[in-house]
Amino acid sequence: MRTKHSFMVFVAAAILVAASVLPAFSQDSGWYYDKPIKTITFENLKNVKQNDLEGITSSFVGQKFTDEVISSLYDRMFALDYFENVEAKVAKADEAASSVKIILAVTERPVVSAIIFKGNSQLRKSELQETILIKEKDIFVQSKLLSDERALRNHYIEKGYTAATVSSSFETQPSGIVVTFNINEGQRTVVRSIKFNGIVNFSEKTLKSKITLKEAGLFNKGSFQEASLSNDARIITTYYQNHGYADARVLNVKKDSSFNSEKNLNELTITFDINEGEKYKFGGMTFQGNKVFSSERLQTLVRLPVDAVYNETKFQESKMAIQNLYYENGYTSNRFDTEMKKSADSRVISYVLHITENSRSHIEDILIKGNTKTKEYVIRREIPIEPGDIFSNTKITNGLRNLYNLQYFSAVAPEVSPGSEENLVDLVFSVEEQSTTSLDFGFTFSGVSNPDDFPIALYAKIQDSNLFGEGRSLSAGTTLSTDEQSVNIGYGQNWLFGKPISTNFSLGYSHSNNYTLRDKFLPDGSIDDDYYYMEYEQHEFNLSASLGHRWTPDFAILTLSGGLSGSIINNIYDSSIYIPYDSSVSQYNNNWEPKNSLWSSFSMDGRNINYDPSSGWFFSQRLAWYGLLPEGAIAFAPRWGEREFYLRTDSKVEKYFTLVDKPVSENWSFKLVLMGYSGLSFQFPFFDSAIKQSNQLYIDGMFNGRGWSVYNNDGGRGQALWSNIIELRMPVVPGAISFDAWFDAVAIKDSAQNFFTELTSEDWYFSFGPSVRFTIQQFPLRLLFTNTFQIKDGEVVFENRDGTGDNAWYKNWNFVLSFNLVNR
């Protein structure tokens, strides 16, 4: 049972305890009042982690110690349902007693040690466990038992067991609480037949396709749910009303039951008695009482043309659009009353919308609930509306988008509740946090071509995108193998000095043993640069930094960014023996040479959620200049510096359409999203320098031209690249897993000029196939099956990944592992 003392008695007791237990506590009564709270810590935590509580306690740190503040702290602690009791101790935070520290001694509720289901023979235990909220190792909250009983009973009803009953009990044992659910499943009920009386204008087949109840058959179990009867009656009525039959009604629903002893189940015949009525047209809508918006402005929101067949849904959508127009502009307390004018003779329905306009509503307070790790200010700064502002539904929607884009929360639910006075409202954001820490590790097997090499490469990466709940990110990674070793760290944050200014830094080192083509002088004096290879060792240190600013107008997120990246590289090999074919290898031979770039970008993001959008658009333009320290720029090192100077441009655009979004069950909808992407990149060399092949644009086979591996061919690299993607996405587990069908088309040319003048069908590389895409922040992988082809001499040729061969399409499939990266 939860224990909560009155504040004054409780503080008096806490002071006595603190005085006897903590030597740092002052004997001077009341010294702690109005002193800033420096820290809040916990005692006796066993199953609850202190990090999970810092999201609550952090908002109190820095406040002055008052009765109201401590009372609010108690309320927040008990609201978690983690503790049976909380006792406070107060002590000096420093010798001068200029601040206080609070120690909360808690008594945790017991944990659930086991969950037992009794009486379930038709449904598996794992299926029932997924239905309930209580889980093993969770803090036991008795009030959840009743809701879990209802959840189990509803689950059985959904499966057709309409007579199922569920009860629960719990027992305290040394290991914790053992919860038992006692289930009486009863007999299953199925729909054998569905009939309709009184229909003239629509067939039984049409009406059966609209309702949720289905007849038992080869492809449908026909499970009966009592709640579906009234829902299906509404569906039938709405279907008629949307086709002009405004008076249509379902008069009665009859159920005839019979027991099938062979199948041991109840079979139902359901009959809907329907009165169709007459068919009407729409006569229009007029307005009275509107002063804020003109009748002409409101008329543009009416979605049903005059003299069209009457449609109840479109009429309601028109009314809602008018209400939303007022709502968007802060008028949340207006009244909207409709007056129907129906002419039975001409069969026309018209409406008068009476509008009672009140003053604009203002935000009185913004409340945050559910955050345990994330600091409250991290959430508040993403909401573009503050107490005192005029209510704006658009700004609330933008705040919802911003919070989802953080990927700190699995669910965000904004609610509007009445304030303390008329035309004042409170805005409540309830969040459910998800893990923001990812730990990736594994190995790859590279074969045993060299018996002296260890054939396994190990890699590991740890990242926290919400470090200490403060909205900062920190990552560290390493790769270890015989041929390559690397280590890198990164840090970033999206806010700086209280402004939406992002900063990112990364530092890394890598060492690798590589092979490259070399020039081989043949006996006849010719040079062969296509066959012979050389080995070289590369060391590289790199550092990058970036700075950006975001603006959030209603239509999109605007971001302006810039950054600098630099590295020094040393390629070690015997230059007296080998001459690399690629001059970028020889440039860094036996000397630490620089490689630098400076970039800027601008983006406009109108996607509803950036990591898994279903609507909206995205555009970005990036400019990067390569080469900042020309050779000879430093007087004492005349041969040290860069020899390659070029400008690179990258333009990207995305668009998303939701084609289908049809609810199938209470928790899942069949959804299809069409995605289109186009990216255009160019490189322009300057100062008579050439862009080395290793630095040119190329078809990588993972993100553009997926499935191809032509980047080692001359035709797979160039200075102009156009990548296009079309995807049809079907979310299987929304926010986690999606099944996609995709098609890629990418073209590459040796220069921007030739791209515009000499691009032909044979410069295109096509690929297609299915894929499984993971949208989880900690697991952003994509598994693709790819098929590749080109058009040569006007014919489709299915080729190997390297651009060779002529295969049958069904023998040309390959597996590709990619990553689900988000354009920002």
pLDDT of residue 631: 83
CA dist 581 → 343, 518, 802 (Å): 88, 5, 21
pLDDT of residue 456: 64
Q: How confident is the model at residue 14 (pLDDT cuts 50, 70, 90)?
A: very low
Dihedral sign from CA coordinates of 803, 804, 806, 812 = negative
How buried is 378 (Cβ within 10 angstroms: 0-12 exposed, 13-18 middle, 19+ buried)? buried
Domains 112-184 and 362-433 share a fold: yes
Q: Is the pLDDT of residue 22 over 70?
A: no
How buried is 714 (Cβ within 10 angstroms: 0-12 exposed, 13-18 middle, 19+ buried)? exposed
Q: How confident is the model at residue 218 (pLDDT cuts 50, 70, 90)?
A: confident
One-letter-per-residue 3-state SS of 210-256: HCCCCCCCCCCCCECCHHHHHHHHHHHHHHHHCCCCCCCEEEEEEEE
pLDDT of residue 582: 74
How buried is 731 (Cβ within 10 angstroms: 0-12 exposed, 13-18 middle, 19+ buried)? buried
Q: Per-residue pLDDT averaged across 253-261, rounded?
A: 88
In sequence order, what E strands does 344-455 have?
348-356, 362-369, 409-418, 424-433, 437-445
**Cα distance between residue 432 and residue 373, in whole Å:** 10
pLDDT of residue 742: 97
Pick 362-433's CATH classification: 3.30.360.10, 3.90.76.10, 3.40.50.2300, 3.10.20.310.
3.10.20.310
Q: Is the pLDDT of residue 454 over 70?
A: no
Q: Is the pLDDT of residue 684 over 60?
A: yes
pLDDT of residue 17: 39
**Cα distance between residue 483 and residue 422, in whole Å:** 71
Q: How confident is the model at residue 289 (pLDDT cuts 50, 70, 90)?
A: very high
**Cα distance between residue 615 and residue 445, in whole Å:** 41
Question: Which stretch of 203-217, 218-232, 521-535, 689-703 has the lowest confidence by average pLDDT?
Answer: 521-535
Q: How confident is the model at residue 444 (pLDDT cuts 50, 70, 90)?
A: low
Task: Specify whether the CB–CB gap between 495 and 381 falls below 8 A.
Answer: yes
Mean pLDDT score across all residues of the chain: 88
Task: Specify whether the CB–CB gap between 427 and 416 falls below 8 A.
Answer: yes
Q: How confident is the model at residue 333 (pLDDT cuts 50, 70, 90)?
A: confident
Q: How confident is the model at residue 443 (pLDDT cuts 50, 70, 90)?
A: low
Q: Is the pLDDT of residue 541 over 90?
A: yes
pLDDT of residue 393: 86
Tracing tokens 């002296």 back to the chain, one arrives at: 452
137: left (phi over 0), alpha (psi -120 to 50) or beta: left
Question: Which stretch of 127-131, 366-370, 661-665 has the lowest confidence by average pLDDT?
Answer: 661-665
Question: Which stretch of 24-33, 234-243, 274-283, 421-430 has the lowest confidence by average pLDDT?
Answer: 24-33
- For residue 95, the SS3 value is coil
Question: Which stretch of 6-15, 394-403, 735-744 has the lowest confidence by average pLDDT?
Answer: 6-15
pLDDT of residue 622: 97
CATH 3.10.20.310 fits 281-356, yes or no: yes
Q: How confident is the model at residue 315 (pLDDT cuts 50, 70, 90)?
A: very high
Beta partners for 501?
A: 549
Domain boundaries, the chain: 7-108, 112-184, 189-275, 281-356, 362-433, 606-824
Question: Which stretch of 245-259, 583-597, 747-761 has the lowest confidence by average pLDDT?
Answer: 583-597
Q: How confident is the model at residue 451 (pLDDT cuts 50, 70, 90)?
A: very low
Q: Per-residue pLDDT averaged across 240-265, rounded?
A: 91
CA 511 from chain center: how many Å? Answer: 36
Q: Per-residue pLDDT averaged across 646-659, rounded?
A: 97
**Cα distance between residue 290 and residue 293, in whole Å:** 6
pLDDT of residue 265: 85
Residue 62 half-sphere exposure, CB side, CA atoms within 13 Å? 3
Task: Specify whether the CB–CB gap between 731 and 612 falls below 8 A.
Answer: yes
CA dist 46 → 107, 109, 110, 743 (Å): 9, 10, 10, 53
Task: Specify whether the CB–CB gap between 404 and 412 falls below 8 A.
Answer: yes
Nearest residue to 57 via CA among 470, 372, 369: 372
Q: Per-residue pLDDT averaged across 13-20, rounded?
A: 40
pLDDT of residue 51: 78
Tracing tokens 């970008």 back to the chain, one arrives at: 601
Q: What is the CATH number of domain 7-108?
A: 3.10.20.310
Tens-place pLDDT, residues 342-352: 998 899 999 99
Q: Per-residue pLDDT averaged across 353-373, rounded?
A: 92
Task: Specify whether the CB–CB gap between 758 and 749 falls below 8 A.
Answer: yes
Nearest residue to 490 via CA among 545, 447, 450, 540: 545
Q: Per-residue pLDDT averaged across 380-385, rounded?
A: 93
**Cα distance between residue 387 and residue 152, in whole Å:** 42
Task: Specify whether the CB–CB gap between 598 and 624 falls below 8 A.
Answer: yes
**Cα distance between residue 295 and residue 318, in whole Å:** 13
Instruction: Compute the CA torsion angle 15, 17, 18, 19 (nearest 10 deg).
Output: 80
Q: How confident is the model at residue 452 (pLDDT cuts 50, 70, 90)?
A: low
Q: Per-residue pLDDT averaged across 215-228, rounded?
A: 83
Helices (H), 285-441: 295-299, 312-328, 376-380, 393-406
189: left (phi over 0), alpha (psi -120 to 50) or beta: beta
Q: How confident is the model at residue 484 (pLDDT cuts 50, 70, 90)?
A: confident
pLDDT of residue 6: 39
CATH 3.40.50.620 fits 112-184, yes or no: no
Q: Per-residue pLDDT averaged across 1-10, rounded?
A: 39
**R_g of the chain, CA atoms, integer Å:** 34
Q: Per-residue pLDDT averaged across 133-138, rounded?
A: 88
Q: Is the pLDDT of residue 718 over 80?
A: yes
Q: Per-residue pLDDT averaged across 248-272, rounded?
A: 90
**Cα distance between residue 34 and residue 30, in whole Å:** 9
The segment with the largest mean pLDDT, out of 173-177, 412-416, 682-686, is 682-686
Dihedral sign from CA coordinates of 725, 731, 734, 738 = negative
Q: How confident is the model at residue 82 (pLDDT cuts 50, 70, 90)?
A: confident
pLDDT above 90 coverage of the chain, percent: 53
Nearest residue to 508 via CA among 460, 476, 555, 466: 476
pLDDT of residue 270: 94
Q: Is the pLDDT of residue 213 over 70?
A: yes
CA dist 439 → 132, 463, 479 (Å): 29, 7, 14
CATH level 3 topology of 189-275: Ubiquitin-like (UB roll) (3.10.20)
Q: Per-residue pLDDT averaged across 506-518, rounded?
A: 90
Residue 579 half-sphere exposure, CB side, CA atoms within 13 Å? 7
Q: Is the pLDDT of residue 570 over 50?
A: yes
**Cα distance between residue 409 and residue 566, in whole Å:** 35
pLDDT above 70 coverage of the chain, percent: 94
